[in-house]
A = this chain, B = another copy of it.
C-alpha cells in the first residue's frame, strides 16, 4: 500500500530546524529536545522517514554523506521549495488549540480525601520535574548557539522561552496552592 508518511506537522518542524542551517536527523532531534521540548517533540521514527519524503519532494537535499558503504551520516540542507512550504505554513492563518492532556489534573478531578495522601508526593514530583525542565532549557538558551542569528529571529525565539518560563512559574505557584488545599483536606 506504500503508506505516505510525514503529513502531520513534523515536516514543518524539520524544515524549520534546517532554516537555522544544515543538519543531520540526529542533530535535528537534539536541537528540538534542547530548545522546544516544552512545546514540541519529534521521535526518530518520525524524523528519518520524513527527511526521506522531503528529499523526494525536493524540499531539502543531502549536502554531505559519509557513506562507509551502508548506513552513513547524511547532512541535509533546506532548499528554496522547502523554505516556501515552511513560510506558507507559518503564514497560514488558521489557529487551532490542541489542549494537551494532563494526567495529574485528571486524577485530582476524580479524587476524594482518601486519595490525598497519595497525591501529595505526586504533586511534589510534578513540581520538581517542571522546575528541572525550566533549568535545563534556560541553561541552553543562555549559553546559546544563536549568536549568529539575526536580531528579529532571536526576539521571536525569545517569546517561546518567555512562554516556557511563564508556564513553569505558573505551574509551580499552582502546585503550592494545591498542596495548601490538600493540607486543608487531610
Q: Is A19 an interface residue (CB 8 A)?
A: yes
Interface residues of A in 101-135 (CB under 8 A from B): 101-116, 118-119, 121-122, 125-126, 129-130, 133
In whole angstroms, what is the CA distance A162 to B93 when docked? 31
Interface of A: prevailing SS? helix
Q: Is A142 an interface residue (CB 8 A)?
A: no
Give this chain's copy count: 2
| Cβ B118 vs Cβ A93 within 8 A | yes
Q: Is A87 an interface residue (CB 8 A)?
A: yes
Contact segment of A21-29, A33-41, A48-56, A60-68:
A33-41
In whole angstroms, what is the CA distance A42 to B19 when docked? 36
Q: Is A184 an interface residue (CB 8 A)?
A: yes
Q: Is A4 an interface residue (CB 8 A)?
A: no
| Cβ B105 vs Cβ A118 within 8 A | no
In whole angstroms, what is the CA distance A156 to B59 when docked? 50
